[in-house]
Structure 1
Amino acid sequence: MRGSSKIQDQILSEHLSEFNLGLAEPCSSSDIAVRQTRTGGTVEGKPEYEVLVTNTCECSQSRVLLRCYGLSSVEPVNRRAIRPVDEERCIVGGGRPITRGAPIRFKYAWMTPQDFPVISTQIHCQ
């Protein structure tokens, strides 16, 4: 009987470990950070900004949508990094997953810095 108790304890311990993993706080769209800085350059008299989109979560996040209202810029913006999907939203990195430590960067030039709030993401945890 003593041997079966050890097996039961081990099974219970494994299930509790799986349960505790489920209690860990999952990633959310708030783990996508959008930071921008002035590059110091100007394009057609407008200040240039560099935007860095990072994922601070262990899980990758794809289909990152930002509110961008058409992404106004007097210089061409790298469409592989960000592109409008409609009048209001832009998709980052073509929808590909953004992993921690692999940010997406792009530059634009406009009269004032634009806000790029995160609208939604698709989270991929394993």
Structure 2
Amino acid sequence: MACTAKVTIILFLCAAAQAYCHAATDHPGTCNVSDIHVTEVPTGKVVGGQPEYRVTFDNQCSCPIAFIEVQCVPYLPSTEPVDQRKIRYVASGMCVLNDKLPLSRGSPVTFNYAWKTPPSFNVTSGVPQC
């Protein structure tokens, strides 16, 4: 009986150690800008004579990512106002996302803009917050 209890305790400790090691691998070193997915879809609306698009930035990493810079060359064109708290042009074809607040998994940043062709929003940098 005592031997069975010892084996049970050892198995429990091994399982706990394995779970801890698995959780420890989900840290900032494993998060990077490729974890931020960008989608642009037409809304079907026309604003100022231009088609409207909905852009979504979604973080697939468990760590929030802050200070996200996005390439938006040569500027952020739109015939409708874009929410500057969500994306803001700064200079040299670069924008900042979410007013430098962290982008967390399950809380995407979404905004609409209208222009003849959708610009390509390439994420260039971000800082994991874990």
TM-score range for the pair, normalised by the shorter chain length? 0.7 to 0.9
Task: Single out whichever of 25-34 and 103-112 deviates more from structure 2.
Answer: 25-34
- TM-score normalised by L of structure 1: 0.80
Equivalent position to 1:124, from 113, 126, 129:
129
Distance 2:99 2:89 in 1: 10
Distance 2:54 2:25 in 1: 37
Kindly indicate whether residue 99 of structure 2 is the aligned counterpart of residue 94 of structure 1. yes
Distance 1:117 1:98 in 2: 15
Kindly indicate whether residue 29 of structure 2 is the aligned counterpart of residue 31 of structure 1. no
How do residues 1-126 of structure 1 correspond to structure 2 at under 5 angstroms? Answer: 26-69=30-73, 70-125=75-130
Size of the aligned set, in residue pairs, is: 114
- TM-score normalised by L of structure 2: 0.78
**Structure 1 residue 87: Cα displacement:** 2.9
Partner residue, 1:9: none
4+ residue runs over 3 A deviation? 13-25
Letter in 1 for 2:60: T
SS in structure 1 opposite 2:79?
coil
**Structure 1 residue 71: Cα displacement:** 0.6
Q: Percent same amino acid at aligned positions?
A: 36
Task: Single out whichever of 14-23 and 115-124 deviates more from structure 2.
Answer: 14-23
